[in-house]
Structure 1
C-alpha cells in the first residue's frame, strides 16, 4: 500500500535533481521566494481502480522574479524541461509497485510570493493490493 504521503515522499526525493530547497504541503516557509527558489509538493486525493490506485500530485517549481518584477523565463523554461524529462519512473515502495508520469505543465504567477512557477501535475499510480 502506498499512501498520498508516501507518494509525496517519493517525489520529494526525486526533486533533488532541481538543486532547489524542497518542501511538502504543511511545511512550506512563509514569505517571498528568495533567489534560491523552491519546490513545493502538494499531494491530492487518490481514486481506487481495479488494478491501479491513481492520484495526482502537484509539484510547483518556484523562481523568484527579477529585480524588475518580471518572470525569469529562461530559468522557468529550464525547470519545465527538466521536470518533463525527469518526472517519470517506476519502482517499488513498501512492497507495492508504483509508476508516475507528468500529466501536464503550465507556468503561473504568485504575486504575493514575488515569484513565477511551473505547476507540474504528476499522475501517480500504485498497484492495487486489495488490502
Structure 2
C-alpha cells in the first residue's frame, strides 16, 4: 500500500515528530496540532503507516516509530539478560527514563505482539521473553 506524494510528505513529518519524542512520542492530538493536520487524518495516516511497518500502535492514539521500537526491544532483551530472563516494569521504566504508566503500556504492547509474556501479579509481576521482537534493532 503505497502512499501518495502528499501523504508521504505528511507521513515523513509525523515520523520526524515521533522519532524526536524517542521513548515519549507525542499523542495523536499533539501531532495533529503541531503538524496542522486534523486528528482524524493523523489517525488514519498512522494506521496506514502501521500496516506498512513504519510505526507501531502501542495504545490508542500513541504510536512509536519503527526505529524506536527496535531500541526498546534491545533494552528489554538486555534487561532480561541481566535479570535471569525477567523484566520488571520498574527496571524498564528506569532504563527508558519515563514514567511507570508508559513503561507498562510498552511492556503490555510487547505482550500483545508476542515478544514478551506477563507472569505473576502485583509486586511479583514480571515479563519474560517469549518470541521474536516485532522489529530487529537497527531496522
**TM-score (structure 2 length as normaliser):** 0.31
More strand by share: 1
More helix by share: 2
RCO comparison, higher one (Cα < 8 Å, 6+): 1
**TM-score (structure 1 length as normaliser):** 0.32
